A and B are shown apart, each in its own frame.
Chain A
Amino acid sequence: MTIQRLYSLPNCTLLIEGLGDTITFGQGDARLPITMVINAECRLTGYEKPISGGREFLESLVAAVSQYVQTLLSGLSMARSPQDGKQLVQLERINETTHRLNARAQGAEATGATSAITQVDLNTVQLFDLVEAIDQLLADPQTLPDLTLNLKPASRREIVKARQVGRELVPAAIGVSGLAAAAVLLSLLPVPKVEPPQDLYPVRGQTTAGNSPSPTAPPSPKPTASPAATSPSPTPSPDTKQLADTLTNASEITNAAELATLSQQLQQKLDQTWTNRAAITQDLSYQVGVRKDGAIAGYKPINPVSAENASQTPLLSLLSQQAATSEPLALFKVVFTGSGNVAVAPWQQVMTSPVSGISEITDTQQLEAILPKLTSQINQNWAKDPTFAEELIYKVRVKQDGTILDFNPENEAAARHVQETPLNKLAKPIADGNTAPTQEPVALFKVVMRPPNGALEVSPWRGWQN
């Protein structure tokens, strides 16, 4: 038996047709809850043809409208906007009083017909009536009780992305526009990591002290760390190797807008399908490759723990069944935290901020072992007497065996005088945006060279952990 519910406002009527839950039958004339949608139909004044669809359409309508109103209220647009063409319903602002709603018929992408898109221009009051019809539906416990108002503030990153990408910004014409922009920019400032000051220069003491006892210590942790990236441990499903290969062979999607939407989709997908959150007790990290259509093409555990526990994550079940192709992939770092959250970030972004780089050596003992190797290499390779009069600061990535992978000048003087330093001979500067994920774990060090003779101070980039 189908049930109909009507939410009627001056400019908009929303009609939900659905099925009740059979278990509650027999309650006489009690108002049965609709638990399944057969058809949702939205009529707007001035438009003869209603826009309609099933559950997917309804959910898309609710999400698109909610988000659009939020940007209207805050004057800030956000990156998690469903502008990506995947969503059935999208809203965009035409001018101060006109809002355009685009609704795509379900399954229209298969036929590719553009005629399947209904375009409706709403004025502000009409838009409000649509919002109110949706609000009444959401507030009605007798209709789709599982469909609820799901609001949350846009995160700093989402707002920022929207600005970077330069999508059409809702004019934040509120006198605050300038302010809001400034606030957003200011809130960005702290994001580049601030190092803990207490550990900036403990090195002299630490180097000499750590030097003698350390040779015995470092070999032990070594074997556990290195096989991580190359060979999956025996427990996970046998195809992990192949999944990882998919990632390395495909070309990469780098378009920022595309990455933002794919990232958003991936996050949603993982959030929805990850059910047994309690099963994970520590953070599990993966590199995940996503095709243009949002399907997961492959993934690669970042460390042994993540390899062993891959079956606890929804990744395998979400894996696209389609055979591996040479389609370009978007790469993300996905972390399932022990506290039950999923974090998704574009891989490039994670890697170009070396502080959060993966497979980083942070163990104090290992750092102590690498540090003297780094120091002696630099000390032995001065070509001539230094001429600089200011402190030079570099961030240096070092492999486990002491080989310097690359470095990055951290102050202006450091960039200017790099030719004079041994680093120039020992390694390459970190190329912009091209810090490829390393197969081996690396340690990050801060190297300070002081005038007049290049006296060296070396410390772990993040300070000593104890």
Chain B
Amino acid sequence: MQLNSPSIQSGTPVILGSLPDPAISDQTCPRRATIEIDLMLLAIEALELEGSEVILQTAKYLELDEIIKDRVTLWRLRNTNPLRRQNQRRPLSLTEAKALVIVGCYMARRLTVLIRQLLLAYQQLQEQQLSMDHHFRLNEYLERFRAHFRSRMNPRRAAVAENYSDEKLNQLALNLLTELLFCTGTHGIQRFWFSLFDGEVA
């Protein structure tokens, strides 16, 4: 039946259809969305060794490799984040954004167990008023996240400079961990996707 449907163009992966286009004027991602998407992937890389390689494999598995072709393309897409050192001054199209979000959420889903463990550990440490380095795996995640963030984001950007301290970056990493958990749900992809456009639609 879907063969006759005009909305599905040849060359557009069907999986993207699960995410509707938001009502924004130009069909490109708002600034906040490009930042959020890149940071979410950064958090995944901090959770999983060889994360960027897995991103490419996942894209291929989900038949999104037309959009996320190779390492260079992925690098270009992620560098639409204006906070990056190598910011690409090009917009991120909705199609590209959808592909990145789907890949990211899919990877988060595979990491569900770890994400839950780390969040529970965080909760316990907080209740006992202990610092994060009391939990080996959580501390490892935070360390890796801070290193990734500092090596890739441009400290001349105010938003980066303000969040450069260990404390701030830990908080950011923990927030992203929470976001990742909600991405793993049955409708997690949709929930994350719609949140990217909060305050952007008329």
Residue ID in chain B nearest A10 by CB atoms: B116
Q: A275 to B179, alpha carbons, bound, how many Å? A: 38
Q: A173-B172, A174-B176 are in contact. Are A179 and B159 (CB under 8 A)?
A: yes
Digitize B157-182: 1 where CB-to-A-CB distance is under 8 Å, 0 elsewhere. 01110110000110110111011011
Q: A178 to B192, alpha carbons, bound, how many Å? A: 20
Q: A178 to B126, alpha carbons, bound, how many Å? A: 25
Main secondary structure of the interface of B (DSSP, over half): helix
Are A135 and B187 in contact (CB-based, < 8 A)? yes
Q: A70-B191, A135-B185 are in contact. Are A184 and B123 (CB under 8 A)?
A: no
Most buried by A among B116, B188, B200: B200
Are B182 and A72 in contact (CB-based, < 8 A)? yes
Residue ID in chain A nearest B183 by CB atoms: A73
Residue ID in chain B nearest A172 by CB atoms: B175
Digitize B184-198: 1 where CB-to-A-CB distance is under 8 Å, 0 elsewhere. 111110111011111
Are A125 and B123 in contact (CB-based, < 8 A)? yes
Q: A173 to B116, alpha carbons, bound, how many Å? A: 20
**In angstroms, how far is the closest chain A Cβ from the Cβ of B57?**
26
Digitize A69-89: 1 where CB-to-B-CB distance is under 8 Å, 0 elsewhere. 111111110100000000000
Residue from the list A70, A125, A128, A156 in contact with B194, Cβ < 8 A: A70
Are A74 and B196 in contact (CB-based, < 8 A)? yes
B60 CB-CB contact with A under 8 Å: no
**In angstroms, how far is the closest chain B Cβ from the Cβ of A307?**
29
Are B198 and A153 in contact (CB-based, < 8 A)? yes
A187 CB-CB contact with B under 8 Å: yes
Residue from the list B158, B176, B192, B198 in contact with A78, Cβ < 8 A: B198
B122 CB-CB contact with A under 8 Å: yes
Q: A149 to B193, alpha carbons, bound, how many Å? A: 13
**In angstroms, how far is the closest chain B Cβ from the Cβ of A204?**
36
Are A175 and B182 in contact (CB-based, < 8 A)? no
B32 CB-CB contact with A under 8 Å: yes
Are A173 and B171 in contact (CB-based, < 8 A)? yes
Interface residues of A in 77-127 (CB under 8 A from B): 78, 96-97, 123-125
Are B159 and A178 in contact (CB-based, < 8 A)? yes
CB-based A-B contact count at 8 angstroms: 136
**In angstroms, how far is the closest chain B Cβ from the Cβ of A267?**
14
Q: A175-B162, A178-B158 are in contact. Are A74 and B126 (CB under 8 A)?
A: no
Digitize A124-154: 1 where CB-to-B-CB distance is under 8 Å, 0 elsewhere. 1100100110011011000000000101111
> What residues of chain A lie closer than 8 Å to B179, measured between beta carbons?
72-73
Instruction: Give the total of B residues in contact with A, Cβ under 8 Å.
Output: 47
B143 CB-CB contact with A under 8 Å: no
Digitize B109-151: 1 where CB-to-A-CB distance is under 8 Å, 0 elsewhere. 0000000100110110010000000000000000000000000
B91 CB-CB contact with A under 8 Å: no
Are B195 and A70 in contact (CB-based, < 8 A)? yes
Residue from the list B31, B120, B187 in contact with A179, Cβ < 8 A: B31
> What residues of chain A lie closer than 8 Å to B197, measured between beta carbons?
153
Q: A153-B195, A154-B198 are in contact. Are A132 and B186 (CB under 8 A)?
A: yes
Are B182 and A159 in contact (CB-based, < 8 A)? no
Q: A128 to B182, alpha carbons, bound, how many Å? A: 6
B202 CB-CB contact with A under 8 Å: yes
Q: A136 to B186, alpha carbons, bound, how many Å? A: 7
Most buried by B among A70, A154, A176, A180: A176
Q: A124-B119, A175-B39, A175-B172 are in contact. Are A183 and B191 (CB under 8 A)?
A: no
A155 CB-CB contact with B under 8 Å: yes
Q: A75 to B201, alpha carbons, bound, how many Å? A: 16
> What residues of chain A lie closer than 8 Å to B158, measured between beta carbons?
178
Are B191 and A175 in contact (CB-based, < 8 A)? no
Residue from the list A73, A96, A160 in contact with B192, Cβ < 8 A: A73
Q: A447 to B139, alpha carbons, bound, how many Å? A: 66
> What residues of chain B lie closer than 8 Å to A128, measured between beta carbons?
116, 181-182, 184-185
Are B198 and A76 in contact (CB-based, < 8 A)? yes
Q: A187 to B25, alpha carbons, bound, how many Å? A: 12
Q: A128 to B109, alpha carbons, bound, how many Å? A: 13
**In angstroms, how far is the closest chain B Cβ from the Cβ of A180?**
6
**In angstroms, how far is the closest chain B Cβ from the Cβ of A92?**
16
> What residues of chain A lie closer than 8 Å to B162, measured between beta carbons?
175, 178
Q: A72 to B181, alpha carbons, bound, how many Å? A: 11
Q: A210 to B12, alpha carbons, bound, how many Å? A: 56
B36 CB-CB contact with A under 8 Å: yes
Q: A126 to B25, alpha carbons, bound, how many Å? A: 38
Are A179 and B32 in contact (CB-based, < 8 A)? yes
Are B186 and A175 in contact (CB-based, < 8 A)? no
Interface residues of A in 280-304 (CB under 8 A from B): none
Are B35 and A179 in contact (CB-based, < 8 A)? yes
Are A132 and B185 in contact (CB-based, < 8 A)? yes
Q: A2 to B183, alpha carbons, bound, how many Å? A: 34
> What residues of chain A lie closer than 8 Å to B30, measured between beta carbons?
183
Residue ID in chain A nearest B126 by CB atoms: A97
Binding site for A on B (CB under 8 A): 22, 30-32, 35-36, 39, 83, 116, 119-120, 122-123, 126, 158-160, 162-163, 168-169, 171-172, 174-176, 178-179, 181-182, 184-188, 190-192, 194-202
7 A-B residue pairings within 8 Å (CB atoms): A69-B191, A70-B194, A73-B182, A125-B119, A125-B181, A149-B190, A152-B194
Binding site for B on A (CB under 8 A): 66, 69-76, 78, 96-97, 123-125, 128, 131-132, 135-136, 138-139, 149, 151-160, 173-176, 178-180, 183-184, 187
9 cross-chain pairs, A with B, having the tightest CB-CB distances, nearest first: A153-B197, A73-B195, A159-B199, A135-B186, A175-B163, A74-B198, A74-B195, A151-B194, A154-B198
Known: A97-B119, A176-B32. 14 other contacts (CB 8 A): A73-B195, A74-B199, A75-B175, A96-B171, A124-B119, A135-B187, A138-B186, A151-B190, A153-B198, A154-B198, A159-B199, A174-B36, A175-B83, A176-B36
